[in-house]
Amino acid sequence: MSRDLALHGMLSQYVNRVLQGNCLSLLKELPSNSIDLIVTSPPYADNRKMTYGGIPASRYVEWFLPISEELKRVLKPDGSLILNIKERVINGERGTYVYRLVMDMREQGWLWTEEYAWVKKNTHPGKWPNRFRDLWEHCYHFTKSKDFNMYQRGVMKPIGKWAQKRMRKIKGNDRIRRKSKTKSGFSLKLTNWSKRKLVYPGNVILTATESANMNHSAAFPTDLPAWFIKLFSRRGDVVLDPFLGSGTTAVAALNLGRRFIGMEINEEYCKVSRARINEVRETLHGRRLVASARVN
């Protein structure tokens, strides 16, 4: 039996299920090097006290490092971890525990490969005496090696209206590769993009938030995990979320033809996520029936 088949058999009891319990204990049950992608948003320090107890900022790194060690063990050598997290304000200044966590995870053997910014385009206005409202959050990208799976074509986007006008006036210098005048080291040959309809995105993800309709105090939008799932996995891959919450990562994975493993300690959130997942399964099943009927 090949190694892949053996791993598939060992994972089968966990795949496409919501597992209730402490993720640190549940992760120990999973085989090593078995997960293609991890997308998660752990409880933020001192927040969600009613549901998650509220991990003090002073102990946050200590609390998370055993979990990240297990995540590194179960992730495949060419897999990725996306960690959505934001530091909170403590005594009038930004806490440093998230940055300490990033550095300590590097000491743990992770590569801090990239950082993406999730920009929330529909947040409510607010006023604070010494700062403005948070409109974005970190999405840290960690890998186990420099050679990891990345499917950039999966997240290409329309080139934008700017190109319609700019490409109509291609001049002589646009037909040669020119180095940036800012001496950044980048160069550009505009004619390479004259017939392009799609281009690669930047590392800023603009999407709306979701919360109240998910019965969860900190639900992130389905578009957020979906973007990373398309970028770092293929159909049939296994996507893990050790802090599943209302099930958003699982829903995104199913809609994109991936398998999932969800872990959640809160019983009520397990119920919410299972209900959402079942709804998606019914919708997908209906679509398959319709497609089959059309073929016949």
Can you tell me the mean pLDDT for 4-10? 69
Q: Do 107 and 41 sit in the same domain of this protein?
A: yes
How many structural domains compose the chain?
2
Whether 118 contacts 141, CB under 8 Å = no
Whether 265 contacts 288, CB under 8 Å = no
Helix 60-74 × helix 97-107 angle, to 10°: 40
Q: Do 124 and 253 sit in the same domain of this protein?
A: yes
Q: Do 103 and 242 sit in the same domain of this protein?
A: yes
Q: Do 130 and 221 sit in the same domain of this protein?
A: yes
Q: Do 135 and 177 sit in the same domain of this protein?
A: no
Can you tell me the mean pLDDT for 220-249? 96
| Residue 292 pLDDT | 64
Query: CA-CA distance, 132 to 114, in Å (whole number)?
Result: 26
Q: Do 144 and 242 sit in the same domain of this protein?
A: yes
Q: Do 249 and 260 sit in the same domain of this protein?
A: yes
Q: Do 151 and 268 sit in the same domain of this protein?
A: yes
How would residue 213 be classed by pLDDT, with cut points 50, 70 and 90?
Answer: very low
Q: Do 179 and 38 sit in the same domain of this protein?
A: no
pTM listed for this prediction: 0.85
Give the domain CATH number at 288: 3.40.50.150
| The last residue of a domain, from among 170, 199, 228 | 199
Can you tell me the mean pLDDT for 248-252? 97
| The last residue of a domain, from among 139, 171, 199 | 199
Q: Do 123 and 218 sit in the same domain of this protein?
A: yes
Query: CA-CA distance, 270 to 276, in Å (whole number)?
Result: 10
Q: Do 170 and 122 sit in the same domain of this protein?
A: no
| Residue 212 pLDDT | 45
Q: Do 129 and 268 sit in the same domain of this protein?
A: yes
| Residue 128 pLDDT | 80
Range of the domain at 80: 3-156+200-295
Can you tell me the mean pLDDT for 260-284? 95
Whether the per-residue pLDDT at 211 is higher than 70: the answer is no
Of the ranges 143-152, 158-167, 186-195, which is most confident? 143-152
* Side-chain half-sphere CA neighbours of 189 within 13 A: 5
Average pLDDT, the chain: 85
Query: CA-CA distance, 52 to 45, in Å (whole number)?
Result: 10
Determine how many CB atoms are found less than 10 A away from the CB of residue 288: 10
